[in-house]
Amino acid sequence: MFNNTQEKKRLVAGNGKPETKPSRSNAGPTPFHRSASYLYLPQDQDTKQRVKWLIYDNNGSFNGWFDWLPIWMRVGYWSPFVMLSLVCFYSAIYWFKPQPLDFSATVLDKLEEEDANYFMGMPQTTAIDLFIFIWGIVVMVQAKISLGSIRAFPLSFTGWSWILLTSRAGLEFMAWAAAAHNNNQLASKFATIGSSIRLVTITNACVVCTIWNFILFPIIYFKSVPAGEKRRNFLKFNFGFFMTNIHVLNFPLAFVNILNGSRVRLFTMSDLWVAYLVVLLYSILYFFVLVSLYYFYWYW
């Protein structure tokens, strides 16, 4: 059923006849090959324009990097078990939401205990938060300048992890700044939101750091990238400034002021619920947008 093929057929705009084109993937066709990859949208009264819907029609192998995996592991029908699991998971998020959600505003709770003269009138923890916030933005700006485009970064789990890390530090710094200017209402909001994403920030950073460095990177390096210049280039890219930050330094940066420092606090069921909520939101993006609409299979 899944015999390898060097060709694939697709409908061509205008005549509706199949055209055979070379395929970059050796994966072969899926059980329901690509007739649904194109939609008719009316262009005017007399003509119709055929629009590509699945923009990454790649047999579940982005750039052919995962052709070595069996096709049944990459594409196919939705498993009933997966659908049931998603329904149960989404339902559980709704039914088991803690009432009320409670997050300790540690930034404000610890202000009186901290030395405010560590750096420019800030406590040490606030100065570290400011550094992490600025550094997170610098890394993304540098990546945009050096790589030309990082549009896929915010769609990746790694991107979400880095943005959460940067946002948590920024929110808790802004909470201190608002309190220093006697805007207690705004300070409380910033501190509460920053505190609410502490657990999901550290867990996502841990997942990205361990899964990429100890599982995905070795597999991609030895199985997906051909030996020689391409493998050397991949190694150079992986240990470049951007990748080192988002895959290696992300965990130590998340560790500071969450699991270490004067503002450490115990996590509660509210923190766990927020962590699962982020998983739910990313699963919606991945399963129902990247995969279902754009067929963009990638091991994020």
252 preceded by a cis bond (ω within 30 of 0): no
In 155-297, where do the E strands start and end?
Answer: none
Q: Provide the CB-side half-sphere exposure for 50 (13 A, CA).
A: 12
pLDDT of residue 66: 72
Its pTM stands at 0.78
Q: Report the length, in residues, of the chain.
A: 300
pLDDT for res 72: 74
The pLDDT score that the predictor gives to residue 77 is 72
Chain center to CA of 178? 30
Which uninterrupted H or E stretch holds 117? none
How far is residue 168's CA from residue 135's CA, in Å, rounded to a whole number?
13
Q: Is 63 left (phi over 0), alpha (psi -120 to 50) or beta?
A: left
Long-range contacts of 164-167 (CB under 8 A, 24+ apart): 164/197, 164/200, 164/201, 164/204, 164/278, 165/132, 165/136, 165/201, 165/204, 165/205, 165/250, 165/253, 165/254, 166/132, 166/133, 166/136, 166/137, 166/140, 167/194, 167/197
pLDDT at position 80 is: 87
Per-residue pLDDT of the chain (300 residues; tens, 9 = 90+): 333 333 344 444 444 444 444 444 444 444 333 334 333 334 444 433 333 434 556 677 766 767 777 877 777 677 788 889 999 999 999 999 999 999 999 899 988 888 888 888 999 999 999 999 999 999 999 999 998 888 889 989 999 999 999 999 999 999 999 999 999 999 999 999 999 999 999 999 999 999 999 999 998 899 888 889 989 999 999 999 999 999 999 999 999 989 998 899 999 999 999 999 999 999 999 888 877 655 555 544
Say if CB 201 and CB 209 are below 8 A apart: no
Beta-strand ranges (E) seen in the chain are 7-11, 18-22, 38-42, 48-52
Tokens 């993937």 -> residue: 25
pLDDT at 250: 96
pLDDT of residue 148: 87
For 198, residues 6+ apart whose C-beta sits below 8 A from its C-beta are 168, 258, 265, 267, 271
Residues with Cβ within 8 Å of 187's Cβ and at least 6 positions away in sequence, in order, are 107, 108, 175, 176, 178, 179
pLDDT at 266: 95
